[in-house]
C-alpha cells in the first residue's frame, strides 16, 4: 500500500475535496495523484502556503510552508 500524507491540513485543504492519508495499491497511481494534488494546491489554493511533495518509502508526503520570506499574509495590505 502507498499513502499520500498531507503533513498539515491548512484551511484550503480542509475546504477542498482532497482526502488525507489516501491509500493506493499502485505506487505509480499514488505518485500521479500526489503530484496532481501538490500542483493544484500550489496553483489554486490561497497562496499563503507553498506545498512540496517528497517520497518517504511507501508514503508520498506533502509538506506545507509559509510562502515567501517577507512574512506577508498575501492580503495586499503589507506593502
| Residue range 3-36, pLDDT digits in tens | 999 999 999 999 999 999 999 999 999 999 999 9
Of residues 33, 32, 23, the one with CA closest to residue 58? 23
Percent of the chain with pLDDT over 70: 85
| Model-wide pTM > 0.95 | no
First vs last C-alpha separation in the chain:
47
User: CA 1 to CA 79: how far, in whole Å?
Assistant: 47
Q: Are 64 and 11 in contact (CB under 8 A)?
A: no
Structure-derived torsion over alpha carbons of residues 15, 21, 27, 32, reported in degrees to the nearest 10 = 10
Amino acid at each position: 500500500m502507498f499513502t499520500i500524507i498531507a503533513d498539515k491540513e491548512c484551511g484550503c485543504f480542509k475546504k477542498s475535496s482532497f482526502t488525507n492519508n489516501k491509500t493506493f495499491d499502485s505506487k505509480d497511481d499514488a505518485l500521479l495523484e500526489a503530484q496532481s494534488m501538490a500542483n493544484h494546491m500550489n496553483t489554486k489554493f490561497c497562496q499563503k502556503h507553498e506545498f512540496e511533495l517528497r517520497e518517504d518509502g511507501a508514503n508520498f508526503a506533502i509538506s506545507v510552508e509559509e510562502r515567501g520570506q517577507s512574512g506577508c499574509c498575501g492580503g495586499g495590505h503589507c506593502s
